[in-house]
C-alpha cells in the first residue's frame, strides 16, 4: 500500500546552494528512487526530516527560495497541466532526531513551522522530459522554485533535524500523469518484517448477511501506523475496534447471532474511538482515530498485537468479526540521516499511512 514519497528541492543561504541529502550528491545524480506522493495522489500530507549528518555538517541556513525537481527520464512530451486546489509548503526545525520521529505528525514537531507557500491553488505541468539523468531544480520553467519574501534564518538544534512539510488537497492528478520527484529510500531488509494475519471467523449480523470481517492496512513496523477497516456490519451503527496485547485464554460467546465470539482480551489493550459504519455496513480505513501508531521502541520489535471489531445488533446482542494477529517489524537503520512520514488519506491527516528511512531530495539557496 505504501508509495515511495515525493522529492522536493529547497534553495539556501549565504554560503550558496545546499542540497539534501548531501552525501548522495543530488546535484549531479538521480537518487535511488522516485516518488509518487504527493504529486500523483489526490490529497497528501508529508513530513521530511534531515539531520546535520545529511546536510554536509551545515546546521545554519538563511533560506531564500525552495524548489522541487522531477526524477527523469519519464513520459516524454505528452504530459499535461494539472491543478492542486490547495498547496501548502512549510519549513523549519525540530528537536526530534531521525530516530525519534514517528507516524503521528503532531508529535514530530517541537515548534511551529514557517510557511513558504500557500495554502493556495497551484498549477503545474507534469514531467515531460525523456532525457536520462537528473532534471533541473525547480522543474520546467522554474514552476517548483518558490522565492521567500525575505530570508528565513534557521538553525538545526543539536540532536534535532531540518523539517519540510507539504500538504496537497484536491490534486487533479491521481496517478495518470507522470509527476514523480527525486527521492532516496534505504533498501536494507527489515530484520523482522511486519505482518498481519487473519485468524478464526466472524459471524453475520442477520441470516442472509456475510460474516463480519476485520482488515488492517499498513507496514506494521516500528515508527509507522496501521489502519483498521472492516465489512459485514449493520449499517450506520457504532462499532468498537479493540487492539490488545493478549487473546482471551478461552474465547467468549457473545449474545446475538450464532458463532459470535470475543477473541481478544480488552483488559490488555484499548478500544479505538467509536466510529459508525457506513450505509452499507463498512468501516472505512482512513477515518481519523482509526490509525494505530507504533512507537519506535526497540523492545516492541517482534511483539504481537490483536485486532477485532464488534458492533451492536438491533434488538439486542452483538455482531463480531474474526481477529487479526499483527507482528511488529523493525525498520532498517537510516543510512542517510533522514526520515520521511506521509499520509495519502488527507492533507489534514493526523496519523501517517507510510513511514521510512531516507526521503525526498531537498535544495536550499
Question: Rounded to whole angstroms, how far apart are CA atoms 209 and 191?
Answer: 41
Cα distances from 127 to residues 140, 276, 309, in angstroms, run 8, 41, 44
Separation between Cα atoms, residue 153 and residue 15, nearest integer Å: 13
List the single range of 97-106, 121-130, 356-365 with lowest mean pLDDT: 121-130
Mean pLDDT of 262-284: 90
pLDDT > 70? residue 209? yes
Give tens-digit pLDDT for 2-38.
222 333 333 333 346 788 888 777 887 778 788 889 9
Write out 23-92 in H/E/C secondary structure: HHCCCCCCCCEEECECCCCCCEEEEEEECHHHCCCCCEEEEEEEEECECCCCCCCCCCEEEEEEEEEEEE
Give me the pLDDT at residue 146, please: 87
Q: CA-to-CA distance for 180 and 34, rounded, in angstroms?
A: 6
SS3 assignment, position 331: coil
Please report the pLDDT score of residue 57 as a whole number.
Answer: 86
Helix (H, G, I), strand (E, B) or coil at 268: helix
Q: What is the reported pLDDT for 3?
A: 27
pLDDT > 70? residue 189: no
* The pLDDT of residue 104: 93
If we measure between CA atoms, which residue out of 87, 4, 102 comes closest to residue 341?
Answer: 102
Separation of alpha carbons 81 and 89, rounded Å: 20
Cα(213)–Cα(207) distance, rounded to whole angstroms? 16
Dihedral over Cα of 20, 22, 28, 33: its sign: negative
- Give dist(CA 31, CA 49) in Å, integer: 17
d(C-alpha 230, C-alpha 277), whole Å? 9
Residue 347: per-residue pLDDT: 95
Model confidence band, residue 191 (pLDDT cutoffs 50, 70, 90): low
227: Cα separation from own chain's centroid: 11
128 or 347, which is more confident? 347
Residue spans per domain, the chain: 8-188+332-364, 195-327
CA dist., res. 13 & res. 202, Å (int): 59
Confidence of residue 132 (pLDDT cuts 50, 70, 90): low
Instruction: Return the H-helix or E-strand segment holding 119.
Output: strand 114-125
Q: Has residue 234 got a pLDDT over 50?
A: yes
Q: What pLDDT score does 128 carry?
A: 61
| pLDDT tens-digit series, residues 92-101 | 999 999 989 9
Lowest mean pLDDT among 224-228, 238-242, 286-290: 286-290
| pLDDT class of 158 with cuts at 50, 70, 90 | very high
pLDDT of residue 8: 34
Say which CATH architecture domain 195-327 belongs to. Answer: Sandwich (2.60)
| Measured distance CA(347)–CA(122) in Å, rounded | 15
Q: Which of 175, 288, 152, 311 is nearest to 242 (CA)?
A: 311
At 296-345, the pLDDT tens digits run 888 898 999 999 999 999 888 899 999 999 999 987 776 788 999 999 98
Compute the average pLDDT of residues 73-100.
85
pLDDT of amino acid 10: 35
Distances (CA, A) of 3 to 20, 101, 119, 166, 317: 21, 19, 24, 16, 41
Contact at 8 Å (CB) between 88 and 34? no
Give me the percent of the chain exceeding a pLDDT of 70.
90
| pTM, entire model | 0.84
Amino acid at each position: 500500500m505504501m508509495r515511495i514519497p515525493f522529492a522536493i528541492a529547497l534553495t539556501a543561504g549565504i554560503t550558496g546552494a545546499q542540497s539534501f541529502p548531501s552525501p548522495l550528491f543530488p546535484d549531479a545524480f538521480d537518487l535511488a528512487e522516485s516518488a509518487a506522493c504527493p504529486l500523483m495522489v489526490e490529497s497528501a500530507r508529508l513530513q521530511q526530516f534531515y539531520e546535520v549528518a545529511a546536510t554536509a555538517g551545515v546546521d545554519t541556513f538563511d533560506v531564500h527560495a525552495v524548489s522541487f525537481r522531477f526524477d527523469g527520464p519519464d513520459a516524454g512530451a505528452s504530459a499535461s497541466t494539472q491543478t492542486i486546489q490547495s498547496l501548502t509548503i512549510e519549513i523549519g526545525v525540530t528537536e526530534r532526531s531521525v530516530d525519534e520521529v514517528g507516524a503521528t505528525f503532531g508529535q514530530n514537531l517541537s515548534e511551529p513551522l514557517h510557511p513558504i507557500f500557500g495554502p493556495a491553488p497551484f498549477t503545474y505541468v507534469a514531467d515531460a522530459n525523456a532525457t536520462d539523468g537528473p532534471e533541473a531544480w525547480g522543474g520546467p520553467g522554474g514552476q517548483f522554485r518558490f522565492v521567500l519574501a525575505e530570508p528565513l534564518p534557521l538553525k538545526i538544534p543539536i540532536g534535532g533535524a531540518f523539517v519540510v512539510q507539504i500538504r496537497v488537497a484536491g490534486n487533479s492528478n491521481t496517478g495518470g500523469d507522470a509527476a514523480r520527484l527525486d527521492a532516496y529510500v534505504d533498501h536494507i531488509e527489515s530484520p523482522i518484517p511486519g505482518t498481519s494475519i487473519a485468524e478464526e471467523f466472524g459471524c453475520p449480523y442477520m441470516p442472509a448477511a456475510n460474516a463480519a470481517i476485520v482488515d488492517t492496512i499498513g507496514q506494521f513496523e516500528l515508527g509507522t501506523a496501521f489502519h483498521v477497516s472492516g465489512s459485514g456490519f449493520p449499517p450506520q451503527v457504532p462499532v468498537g475496534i479493540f487492539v490488545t496485547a493478549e487473546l482471551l485464554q478461552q474465547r467468549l460467546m457473545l449474545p446475538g447471532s450464532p458463532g459470535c465470539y470475543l477473541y481478544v482480551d480488552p483488559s490488555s489493550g484499548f478500544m479505538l474511538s467509536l466510529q459508525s459504519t457506513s450505509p452499507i455496513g463498512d468501516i472505512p480505513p482512513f477515518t481519523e482515530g482509526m490509525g494505530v501508531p507504533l512507537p519506535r521502541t526497540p523492545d516492541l520489535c517482534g511483539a504481537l498485537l490483536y485486532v477485532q471489531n464488534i458492533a451492536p445488533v438491533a434488538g439486542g446482542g452483538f455482531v463480531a468479526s474474526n481477529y487479526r494477529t499483527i507482528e511488529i517489524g523493525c525498520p532498517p537503520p537510516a543510512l542517510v540521516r533522514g526520515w520521511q512520514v506521509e499520509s495519502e488519506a488527507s492533507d489534514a491527516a493526523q496519523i501517517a499511512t507510510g513511514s521510512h528511512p531516507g526521503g525526498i531530495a531537498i535544495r536550499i539557496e
